Structure 1
Amino acid sequence: MDRQEKVIAETAGASVPYRRILVGTDGSGCSERAAAHAVYLAGELGARLYAVNSVNVERAFSAGIHFGEAVAELEKNGREATAAVKAMADSAGVECEEILTTGRPHRAIIQVCDEVDADLVVIGSTGMTSLERALIGSESESLARYSKRPVLIVHQPG
């Protein structure tokens, strides 16, 4: 029996406990869809939800002399994004904590996962072209690649 078969045999019939679900949000329609999935799962499983937004200061740096204003605007948008997830969770009776952090989103989400000991990460993906991925990268792809935890990627329809 190989390792994969052994793991399947050991966990057959056992449920995987998701007690802490982290959802990354940037306030976009795609991240709202991811949040809806996370809220649903948390509600069904009785899990606690963590809504995380990461202020990507590297992007704000391109604003030059208006760096401080750009960071303040990103923080404001981040608070609004996590508040929208919390409102969605509250209406579903799901306990939700809002977390605003800084850094590249995939790295910041991985760090917060470790801090809250998340069991599952939910994130949206906008479906970039291969050229866009090559030029600016995909945070959801990087998260899936580097996270030690299960990652649920919710794609935009169409």
Structure 2
Amino acid sequence: MKKILVPVDFSEHSENALETAAAIAKKHGSELYVLHMLELSNAIYTASTAALNEEGVFYFKLAEKKMNTFLDRNFLDGVDVTPVIKHFKVFKEINEVINAHQIDLVVMGSHGTSGVKDVIIGSNAERVVRYSEVPVLIVKHNPILVEFNTGIFASDFSEDAIEAYLRAKATFKKLDSKMHLIYVNTPDNGFKSSTEIDVLVTKFLRKADGDLENYSNVNVVSDYSVEKGILNFANSIGADLVAVATHGRRGLAHFFEGSISEDIANHSTLPVMTFKI
């Protein structure tokens, strides 16, 4: 985990993300890149060149001042921090920063537990999740412990989820985190017999890993919904992190083939990491 990107808007939620990223950086010797995106209005973009340059410089200097104040934190002592301010108009351009600096992980703050649809869908965090080509860790609270010793990766074990699984596996290894795989069997969402699940998981792992070494880490949970199954299992093993796959074009509400509602981020007090399919 060499390089971590933290997009910020100078809010309390951004501070939570920055502190979390700093803790990860100290543990793994990572560099932090703290990104603020100006997102200048259409009116500024359509102004004359002279006006654009003058107003653009003003907002850049203002953001630079805010960034210097924002980065004046004790928890950043000993961490290599690089501030980045960009005039991005659309969030998909975040991948330019990711590629330019070879970022391994994005850490982003979000509101508390009032539900994803209210606080992430349509927000900066959701847009970063949608466009980021690297894992995105979403945190909602001031970090108390960010060891991430035990994490779960929820999957439907479909062929579409193979790439996300492999990326999650690599990320968990970088974080020195034990990864528990989970399949949630529900009565109203394509219920499968034990034999059917065994065949599904075996086929998935053979195609993804080329072997069945990770089979013992697969947990099948029966519950009334996928969300409840994931959260109940996370609580039962004392997980530090919940990881899920997301279809980028659809946003955070769609974690698997089909969809999972916003209940995971709504009710989970744990950080949630997303891997784009």
Both proteins in one fold, TM over 0.5: yes
By relative contact order (CA 8 Å, sep 6+), the higher-ranking structure is 1
- Once the two structures are TM-superposed, the CA of residue 116 in structure 1 deviates from its matched residue by 0.2
Taking only aligned residues, the RMSD between alpha carbons, in angstroms, comes to 3.4
- SS of 1:112's partner is helix
Residue number in structure 2 paired with 1:30: 13
Show the 5 A alignment for 1:71-150.
71-72=56-57, 74-84=59-69, 86-88=71-73, 91-104=76-89, 106-126=91-111, 130=117, 137-150=122-135
Distance 1:87 1:101 in 2: 20
What is the one-letter code of the residue matched to 1:58?
Answer: S
C-alpha contact 2:8 2:35 (8 A) present in aligned 1: yes
Alpha-carbon spacing, 1:147–1:82, altered in 2? closer, same or farther (3 Å):
same
Q: TM-score, normalised by structure 2?
A: 0.42
- Once the two structures are TM-superposed, the CA of residue 92 in structure 1 deviates from its matched residue by 2.4
C-alpha contact 1:124 1:153 (8 A) present in aligned 2: yes
Establish whether residue 51 from structure 1 lines up as the match of residue 34 from structure 2: yes
Number of residue pairs matched? 138
- SS of 1:87's partner is coil
Deviations 1:66-124 (A, max 9, x none): 97776455323421343245433784200111111111463343221111010001112
Distance 1:119 1:89 in 2: 24
- Once the two structures are TM-superposed, the CA of residue 133 in structure 1 deviates from its matched residue by 6.9
Distance 1:110 1:58 in 2: 21
Q: Unaligned 5+ residue runs, structure 1?
A: 1-17
C-alpha contact 1:122 1:153 (8 A) present in aligned 2: yes
Residue number in structure 2 paired with 1:5: none
Structure with higher Rg: it is 2
Distance 1:112 1:89 in 2: 26
